[in-house]
Structure formats: structure tokens, C-alpha cells
Structure 1
Amino acid sequence: MRRFILAASLAAAAVAVPLTAQMHRPDMLHGAGAPTDVKAGTYAVESGHTQVAFSVSHMGISPFAGWFSGASGSMKLDPAHLDATTLSVSIPVDSVQTTSGKLVEELKSADWLDAGKYPTATFRSTKVTALGPDAARIEGQLTLHGVTKPAVIDARFFGAATNPMSKKPSIGFLGRLSFNRSEFGVTKYVPLVSDRTVLVINAAFELQ
């Protein structure tokens, strides 16, 4: 595909742009603290505030987005040794939502994601590389629709603070991951609905 769909605030622009432009924080939003405020330790995904949105090109006319929720998983992180970070996250496939109830049911069906047969999508890191004081490249294995392929999350620090509700040190990141869905056996309506799929990850973690 000639178009790369950049999802920002659950939308995308069908143009290729540099990584630094892709990875900006959501417009008009600013996190707390700095990367130096992040504490070393084992973090759990904070499910209620972690979102995974997907965007595709709909018939070459407009971007179309939906989202997944209910993530679980953990991350071992030491800012002083970022390359030793490990991340493992799972998403329930049947949590998928869009603005169309009919499409939601189709996405859960065997024609698309087949949530009954493949109930979870997972990402497990294999290598983490710092890209400056507040960004990292997370290489790993993405499993979707029963197929496992290498994938990369480009992650950027968003905020660090003690959650006033849970009283736990918490951190948040913004991530981008793109892939061709046909490589995972999800081929419905390609190319009318683009093969290229972009995930936008708003990730929240709490120190355990």
C-alpha cells in the first residue's frame, strides 16, 4: 500500500511522515512529571485506562477507527537499564468496538478476527532500545488471529505520577504499531479496506 495511515486521536492522515512527527503527544494534552520520575520495578497494566485503537483506510476515502479494551499484562522496567525492559500484554478480541454495531459483530465473526476461536491478541517484547530521553523502540512478537509475527511498537513517555485513587506510582505511554492484517490471515475486503492497519496505544501502568 502506498498510503501509511497515521492514527492520532483515533484518526489518521493518509500520508507518509517522519517518525518524530508520528510520535507527538495528543494535541493539547500534557502529562505529569518527566522520565526521570519513573521508578524501577514491576508494573501491571491499568486496564481501565489502557486503550488500543485501530485505524484503516476505508475504500481510500476516509480513515476508519475502532478500539479494544480490557488489556492485561505486566512490564518490568528500570529506567537506568532500559534495554532490560520486558513487556507482555494481552487484549480480549471480543472487546472490539466501532461506531457501527453491525460491523462490531462482523469483526468478531470468523470472517474477520474470529474471537470465538482466537479470543486474545498478545504482544511480548524481545528487545527494547532507547531513542532518546523519552522514547523507545520495542521489538517483539504480535499474536493475532492465531498467527505470530515480529512487530515493533514505537513508544513515547507521556506522564508519571502517584495515582490519587489507588495511591500507586503510575506511568503512561503513547505507542504506535503498524502491520499488514493479511499476514495474520485477516483478509476480508482487502484492498477496499486497507491491508495496512495502525494501532494507537494509550497505555497506563501501576507499580506493584
Structure 2
Amino acid sequence: MRIVYAAAFALVSTMAIAQAPTSAPGSRNPAAVTGGTYTADPNHTLVIWTLDHLGFSPYTGIFGDVTGTLTIDPKAPNSAKVDVTIPVSKVVTASAGLTQHLLRPGKDGGKPDFFGGSPADARFVSTAVVASGQKARITGDLTLNGVTKPVTLNAEFYGAGKMPAEMGGKENVGFHATGTIQRSQFGLGFGVPMVGDSVKLDISAAFQK
């Protein structure tokens, strides 16, 4: 009986391998990008932030569940527009204590150290795109902690293509972007300069249509 089970398992495994895709559906070729309006993939769009911790080490956290849209025309890349919303309340760090500190209300009704107990979503809306090859400089307005400031991101095309039918069949396009903000400019100056004011942003942006 064990031999029969083993043979059946081997057959099923072989069939699964035979049916598996032989390569990733995404391509690094920008010709794979089609025009239109895409929606942000909240499961694969991440805003990773890093700042200096007391001069001893960098410290990193993540914003996920990003929503929004990207409108793009491969023939006119400078006309691209992006509008995304970032739920600050879902911030994640490696320390439960620090995450709680970021989101706790101010003591005795005072101003919180960071975002507070019910922070508003952050939002980035592009105002200009200057593309060069597979890279682009994206300028936009970032609203964070109730303050709006211009921010510039350096973006690079990562990949595009169509998902297999069994995975939804949607067209995807992805980018990697970096930038820097000064958190004190957004009313988040707690601990400066002991804890760094400059915050590095490392963004993985995935969109679907």
C-alpha cells in the first residue's frame, strides 16, 4: 500500500512540475508596459523607511497596504501620474514596543511623540515626472501627519507583464524608488538630533490593471 501511495504522490508531483511556468511572467523589457490606469497592488507595494538610531545603527520600519493609481503612457512617459495613499496606522517595525510608541496617544491628552493613536493616512500625489530611459525623477506633494511638503523620488522601472490566467491574468508593472525626507518638517521631530531627522525611503511599487 505504501508503494501505491508513493507512486501516486510521485505522479501528481511530476504533473505539477510539468504544468508549472518555466519562467517568471514579468519582464525587465520596458516594451512590456502597456498604457492605461493601473491600481496599486497593496500586497506588494511597500514603503520602507530607515533612520539613524543614536548614532549606533540604522533602524527600519515598513508601511504596507498602499492603495492608489498610476496612469502611464509608454509613448509619453513624462505625462505619467501617480496618486497613492499610505495607511500610517498599519506601520510595522521589528519591535512591538516601538510600534506601540509610534502610535500611542499623547500623555494626559498632550501631543503624541510620533503619529498618535488615530493617525491620518499619508498621501503622495505626483506633480511632475521627468523620464530618462528606464529611470525617472518624480516630484510630488507628500501629505504626512497633516503637513504637505514637496518630495522628489528617483524611480527605476523594475518589470512588467501579464500574470498567468490561474493567477488572475492581470497586467502588472513595477518600479523601485528611493528618496529622503526630513521628518521634523512634518511635525515628527521627537528625539532629533539623538534619533536621526533624515529618513531614507526605499519603495517597491507594484501596480495592476
TM-score range normalised by the length of the shorter chain: 0.7 to 0.9
Larger Rg: 2
Distance in 1 of aligned mates of 2:168 and 2:125: 26
Contact 1:93/1:115 (8 A) holds in 2? no
Q: CA deviation at 1:115?
A: 5.0
Q: Which residue of 1 aligns with 2:194?
A: 192
User: What is the aligned partner in structure 2 of residue 51 from structure 1?
Assistant: 46
TM-score norm. by structure 2 comes to 0.81
1:88-127, aligned counterparts within 5 Å?
88-109=83-104, 110-114=112-116, 116=118, 118-127=119-128
Q: Does 1:148 align with 2:148?
A: yes
Aligned AA (2:195) = V
Give the structure with the larger helix fraction: 2
Gaps of 5+ in 2: 1-25, 105-111
Q: What stretches of structure 1 of length at least 5 have no aligned partner?
A: 1-30
Determine if contact 2:153/2:179 at 8 Å carries over to the other structure: yes
Contact 2:120 2:146 in 1 (8 A): no
Distance in 2 separating the partners of 1:77 and 1:198: 26
Match of 1:49, SS state, is coil
> Counterpart of 1:172 in 2: which secondary structure?
strand
- Provide the TM-score with structure 1 as the length reference: 0.81
Q: What's the counterpart of residue 21 of structure 2?
A: none
Q: Which AA in structure 2 matches 1:111?
A: D
1:62-92 deviations in whole A, cap 9, x for unaligned?
Answer: 1110101110000110011111111100010
- 1:106 partner letter: H
Match of 1:77 among 72, 75, 87: 72
On the 8 A contact 2:144/2:186 being kept in 1, the answer is: yes
Deviation of 1:189 (Å): 0.7
What does 1:56-67 align with in structure 2 at a 5 Å threshold? 56-67=51-62
Structure-2 separation of matches of 1:33 and 1:158: 6
Structure 2 partner of 1:137:
137
Number of corresponding residues? 175
Picking from 28, 33, 36, the partner of 2:28 is 33
1:180–1:197 contact (8 Å) kept in structure 2: yes
Q: Percent identity?
A: 39
